[in-house]
């Protein structure tokens, strides 16, 4: 049986407040048997922890302040992240990073908060989940001093080109590059070429649900069950047997999050 791990999902978001149990049931039926719940503000962090407590066999979680909310970062938020990172279900600090596309917070504020998260991850020996948009130069500059202090990380929802991917492969050897439903979009030929060429031990897949719904469900609310469409697209891109790619992705996700894979 093919098992998939949704490395980055927001089923703890308000978009799923009424039917998250049905959403999870559909995911499990589709073969998406593990999911990392990403908390990006106090409310979604609390929900992620509650869901993990209810289904620790299915969920892990991560916690941070999203760059969109960097202006709201505070000592209280940092203390919440620190507290939940002590729980056994916590696998990463994130998502954190820089978003210059929507620019909801001043760039300098985003950079300062990004460094705060990196400091915390290094202190706690946790990987980081990175949200980066239109900010590659600053992100690499900020990350560089930390690359030997972090156990790893994930470039979540990667939308860069081969130049950025090559930089990651060379300079951040313990970091993964994760592909979302964007990979299935017809116009994303450059991204598809990156996914085709990357070493198999450096790739993950994710939904980022409820966002970035893959073809053929584009336009609908995304959910973890739809990860299978991104997975199938990736198997065709890489011309890899589904069983082999599923095994690699399963092992990669567990490795970067410091988890022990469950044997077949």
Domain extent listing, the chain: 4-256
CA distances, 110 to each of 86, 93, 107, 221 (Å): 25, 16, 5, 28
CA distances, 139 to each of 7, 95, 143 (Å): 21, 14, 6
Q: What is the pLDDT along the chain (264 residues), one digit of tens a residue?
A: 799 999 999 999 999 999 999 999 999 999 999 999 999 999 999 999 999 999 999 999 999 999 999 999 999 999 999 999 999 999 999 999 999 998 799 999 999 999 999 999 999 999 999 999 999 999 999 999 999 999 999 999 999 999 999 999 999 999 999 999 999 999 999 999 999 999 999 999 999 999 999 999 999 999 999 999 999 999 999 999 999 999 999 999 999 999 988 654
Global confidence as pTM: 0.97
Domain 4-256 has CATH 3.90.1150.10: no
């Amino acid at each position: 049986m093919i098992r998939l791990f949704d490395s980055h999902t927001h089923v703890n978001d308000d978009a799923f407040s009424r039917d998250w149990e049905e959403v999870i049931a559909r995911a499990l039926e589709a073969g998406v048997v593990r999911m990392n719940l990403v908390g990006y503000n106090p409310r979604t962090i609390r929900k992620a922890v509650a869901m993990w407590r209810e289904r620790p066999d299915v969920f892990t979680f991560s916690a941070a302040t999203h760059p969109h909310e960097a202006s709201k970062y505070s000592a209280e938020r940092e203390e919440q992240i620190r507290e939940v990172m002590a729980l056994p279900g916590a696998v990463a600090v994130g998502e954190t990073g820089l978003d210059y596309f929507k620019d909801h917070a001043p760039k300098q504020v985003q950079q300062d908060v990004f460094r705060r998260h990196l400091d915390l991850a290094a202190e706690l020996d946790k990987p980081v989940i990175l949200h980066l948009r239109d900010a590659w130069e600053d992100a690499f500059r900020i990350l560089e001093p930390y690359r030997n202090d972090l156990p790893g990380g994930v470039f979540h929802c990667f939308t860069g080109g081969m130049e950025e991917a090559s930089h990651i492969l060379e300079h951040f050897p313990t970091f993964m590059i994760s592909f979302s439903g964007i990979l299935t979009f017809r116009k994303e030929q450059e991204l598809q070429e990156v996914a085709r060429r990357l070493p198999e031990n450096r790739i993950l897949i994710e939904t980022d649900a409820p966002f970035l719904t893959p073809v053929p469900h584009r336009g609908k609310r995304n959910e973890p069950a739809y990860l299978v469409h991104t997975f199938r697209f990736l198997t065709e891109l890489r011309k890899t047997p589904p069983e082999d790619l599923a095994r690699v992705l399963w092992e990669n996700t567990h490795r970067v999050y410091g988890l022990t894979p469950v044997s077949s």
